A and B are shown apart, each in its own frame.
Chain A
Amino acid sequence: MMESLVHVCLAGISAGMFIWLVASGLTLIFGVLRVLNFAHGSFYMLGAYLCYTCLKFLGIDFWLGVIVGPLAVCVVGYVMERYLLRQVYDLELPYQLLLTFAVVLIADELVKIIWGAGSIGSPTVPGLAGSVQIVGRNFPVYNIFIMVIGPLVALALWALLEKSWWGRIIRAAASDREMAAAIGVRVPSLYTGVFVFGAWLSALGGALAVPYVGLLTTGMGEAVIINAFVVVVIGGLGSLKGAFLGALFIGLLNSFGTRFIPALDMFLTFILMGVVLLWRPQGFFAGVDR
């Protein structure tokens, strides 16, 4: 029983780290641009497929794929912000949601056209392929690596936002975009930068997920975006700290749910979100205030 609990925890934490990578970009983009980007999961999916393509068809190293794939997604993010989202900033929220949802559908279809509708078996990572014994059971080394990467990204993001001038400018623009413009911040470029950066984070999650998920499917973006949305809502819109803790929590909840009450597996996240919203509608860490 004890071993089982430990492993359910470990599985939950590693799953949570992927949700975190997606949720971090999602919440950052919301905090600054005030856009809820449904297509954020598509960046995750594209990151995974592009990374996979790099190693499968271009024959390059997995680690190089983790760098190249997300960078390619940055280009997609740039085009999306610059030529699509920018048209709807001044319109009501439903237009943003419709637009980003349209991007989800387009991305899914494109992936089907390019890579085919079927699933692709994903490769293992040289160097991190084995597993280690933890309390009497095997645990993949790669998952341990993911459990290290997640907090490292969190730390790096924290340092970037709190300690760098780029981060301070982002925080200033998030709290008052008009005043930021009045002191000379080029707000449209800042928006593009933040959006591209958020897309990169999500795509990095996708690329790192390639050896983890075992299968790449066009639905993988949607699966992760739903969890990420729940995380961002319960953590507090725009709060990175909330997103990190929320992702850990959802990861663990899913893991325990699957193990102990499989019948309620899908519902648990939403029950939790409902409860949190009733109890603390602003989330646990109310984000960047206007």
Chain B
Amino acid sequence: MLEVEKINTYYDTSHVLQNVSLKVAAGQSVALLGRNGAGKTTTLRSIMGLTPAKTGSINFEGKQIRGMQPYEIAKSGVSYMPDDLRVFVDLTCEENLEIARRVCKRSGHWTREKVEELFPVLADRRKQKGLSFSGGEKKMLSLGRALMMNPSLVLLDEPSEGLAPLVVRKLIETIGEIRRRGLTLLLADQNLKFCRQVCEYGYILEKGTVVHEGSMEAIWANDEVVKRYLAV
């Protein structure tokens, strides 16, 4: 479904991503692992077109999306939950969700009712503005907004970051529920344990290059790799 091949991305003059390649098959859930500053966020942003890759190719459902505008990429079925969530603070909870569906104009399983079923707290706070939300609520809203676009691929940046263990467990269930609806996931997260529970395959990034890849079970079992690239 998604094939990223040898992309190179720069911030001004610094060469952040160097020949990053990865593949996500339809229905799969893939993790991008690595320490802070390894290039996980930049990889997701490059796919979304927000920090465009200078060279390489990004193939999504048979279409070349490198060089396309973010709005075109969104409309072709990729949605994105940034690590800082970026809820529209001036809009109510309900408007944050509906705007994504209306703007993106893709139909599918996800409606506001379905998202509120998944995150009941969003129904309780329907008329409140995004500014008043707690961190956890913003995360649900940002994820809900991404689902409202009825994408086929969802990019999640640090979904488990800053959540209490109990909430992480709930998130794992939620992601399972989302996947049962046929969504494909690519997520960047530092929490190996979490990734092992929600992903089948993983790529480890360091200094902007893919240094290791394998099934999550294999990565989990490989002490040397874990110690070298992931231990803090």
Chain A contacts to B: CB under 8 angstroms: 165, 168-169, 171-172, 174-176, 178-187, 288-289
Contacts and interface: CB of A to CB of B under 8 A. Distances in A.
A191 to B, nearest CB: 12
Count chain A CB atoms within 10 A of each CB in B69, B71, B82, B104 and give the residue with the most. Answer: B71
Contacts of B22: none
Contact of A181 (B50, B88, B91): B50
Given A168-B91, A168-B99, A172-B99, A183 B82 contact: no
A57 to B, nearest CB: 44
B99 A182 contact: no
**Consensus secondary structure, chain A interface:** helix
Interface string B73-107: 01100011010001011110001000110111100
Given A165-B99, A165-B102, A186 B71 contact: yes
A171 B69 contact: no
Interface residues of B, number: 24
A182 B88 contact: no
Contact of B50 (A171, A178, A186): A178
Contact of B70 (A165, A182, A289): A182
B138 interface: no
A179 B145 CA distance: 11
Contacts of B104: 183-184
A171 B102 contact: no
B90 A172 contact: yes
Contacts of B80: 182
B156 interface: no
Nearest to A187: B71
A178 B74 CA distance: 12
